[in-house]
Amino acid sequence: MRTLVIGGTGFIGVNLVVLLASRGDDVGVYHRPATSLANLAHVNFRSMPGELNEEDKLKQAIAGCDVVYNLAACPSSLKKDEEQRNAINVFAPRLIARLTKEAKARLVHVSSIATVGPPAAGEIADETFIFNNHKDAYALSKHLGDKEVAKEVALGLDAVTVCPGNVVGGRAMKQEQKNKFQAIADGKMKIYPPGGVCLTDVDDLVMGMVLAAQKGKAGSCYILGGHNVTFKEYFGHVATVTGSDKPWIRLPSLLLPLAGLGFEILFSFLKSDPPLNRISGEMVSKNLYYSSQLAISELGYEVGDWKNALQKAVQGANIVCKAN
């Protein structure tokens, strides 16, 4: 199988490239020229540098491929990142979808669980959920990118869309998440948000993406999630694995959006990204729970034990544990 991974140097992308290479695929990784490839050391892949708006380079990279995975994303919801967010999350999917259709390849468009939208209290959302998160600039941009892919599907593109949950894993863990895990391991994390997430093992996720490429119905969307757990359970088990004290102070749900807004204002003067913004403060105050039943029934997607996923993440990211 000849595959191309666009966005293959990020957290999920690296794990996907490792899986594809281990299966014997001829894997190309399309990446920005200045991006570090350190997380792909000792992995057999073809480096294909280029920008997302360079049509000729994208066309050349896609040519001859059986499957194209597009994981490129700008995760920011901040106003200052609007141009970059639209370029990566809306315009690039449009171009990639068209070029993949012209190359007669299959596209696995990697969206976000944010495009499903936040469910109401006590509700578990699935693929039938109607998008309701227009105030989140990131979620809206990803939603618009999904619609661009859908337009090309209507014109003959063979594509499936997948929506990952809240992903954990040790290989190429994002520094922000690693810092959080280490703070828990050090006993410095005393607080936890009041909400919950659909916790997803990155190993389950990337296998689900391969299954989507193999078995997904053209034009369909699949949630590739995991177990729905509270932040208290999530952070508490990281503490258990690392031999540390569990966070015990539950933050009030009304405080977090206000604190996020305050951080946005303060850090705008400092000209740096805030650790929390209004939208993220609101999101971590809710139980963002999702169902992966469609992927399980149609793709054969499997969801492993979430506690084992956290243990693997701690070990794979080399979190320094008190237990050691």
pLDDT tens digit sequence for 221-233: 999 999 999 999 9
CATH topology of domain 2-169+199-226+289-304: Rossmann fold (3.40.50)
Per-residue CA distances from 165 to 189, 198, 200, 292 (Å): 23, 5, 6, 9
Instruction: Compute the mean pLDDT over every residue in the chain, rounded to the nearest whole number.
Output: 94
Strands 227-230 and 196-201: antiparallel
Query: Which pLDDT score, from 0 to 100, does residue 269 have?
Result: 73
Residues facing 49 on adjacent strands = 31
Nearest to 201 by CA among 303, 315, 124, 314: 303
Residue 169 has pLDDT above 80, yes or no: yes
Per-residue CA distances from 97 to 37, 100, 213, 313 (Å): 25, 5, 15, 33
Query: Which pLDDT score, from 0 to 100, does residue 253 have?
Result: 86
Mean of the pLDDT values across residues 99-114?
97
Angle at which helices 175-185 and 231-242 cross, to 10°: 70
* Ranges of each domain in the chain: 2-169+199-226+289-304
Half-sphere exposure of 129 (CA within 13 A, CB side): 26
Query: Does an H or E element contain 98, and which?
Result: helix 92-102
Cα three-residue angle 66-72-101, rounded to 5 degrees: 35
What Rg value do the Cα atoms of the chain yield, rounded? 19
Total number of residues shown for the chain = 324
pTM here is: 0.95
Mean of the pLDDT values across residues 141-154?
98
Tens-place pLDDT, residues 246-283: 999 999 888 887 888 787 777 777 677 777 788 888 88
